[in-house]
Structure 1
Amino acid sequence: MLAHAVLLAEARTYLGALADRASTLDSSLEYERVLLQVDWLHGGRVPPTTAVPTRDPRVLYTIACTAVSNLAAHGVDAMEIELCLAMLEEAHRQDTQP
């Protein structure tokens, strides 16, 4: 249970950091949608966030993807994880397009 809470906190932290550092309002809102979906998957019970050691959006995106993917190992529905990852990919695409 502790590992799941830490992983959820990490996913939420990096998704929030991506939303905060997004290049456009639309991409920020897309990251927020992913964050809300992750929260919904956990019944609205969310652990505190963790520190973000980088401002590099590529690193933030990679860590967020990994954290969301790893939630499947803690009983989160795999189809829901795929939905979150697809939403995250779309948000990142919007954020990085010229």
Structure 2
Amino acid sequence: MLLPHALTLAQARSYLAALADQASTIDASSAYELVLIELDRIHGDECPSADAVGLTEDRAILLAIATSALEELEQHGVDTLTVELVLAMLDDAYALDGT
């Protein structure tokens, strides 16, 4: 994995972790964690660590940045359909979050 790919993946993982940490319900938190697990599976569990410290607490902003980073993964060779499926999982998690 090249550095730009790793940076994009780290950003996606960090914002997903922040969403999971700040979720309004346990079900929503679990759903965000499932998105993280799927993202790690796609990358063969060779993933940079997630750091959610110091990120905004506004879940709408966290969602927007996580979505953008996930979409950018296509530029690093991740299959378009795979990215769309992860984005759908993220949308489902956000819907459970009640926001």
Q: Is the 8 A contact 2:17 2:50 kept in 1?
A: no
* Identity rate, percent: 46
What residue is the counterpart of 1:85 in the other structure? 87
TM-score normalised according to structure 1 size: 0.93
TM-superposed deviation, 1:55: 1.1
Give 1:1-98 correspondences, 5 Å limit: 1-50=2-51, 51-96=53-98
> Normalized against structure 2, the TM-score is what?
0.92
> How many aligned positions are there?
97
1:31 and 1:91 in contact (8 A); partners too: yes
* C-alpha contact (below 8 Å) 2:28/2:93 kept by paired residues: yes
Q: Is the 8 A contact 1:14 1:52 kept in 2?
A: no
Partner amino acid, structure 2, of 1:4 = H
* Structure 2, unpaired ranges of 5+: none
Runs of at least 5 residues in structure 1 that lack an aligned partner in the other structure: none
Equivalent pair of 2:35/2:86 in contact (CA under 8 Å): yes
Distance 1:56 1:20, change over 3 A: same
Quote the RMSD (CA, aligned, Å). 1.2
8 Å CA contact retained: 1:24, 1:95 = yes
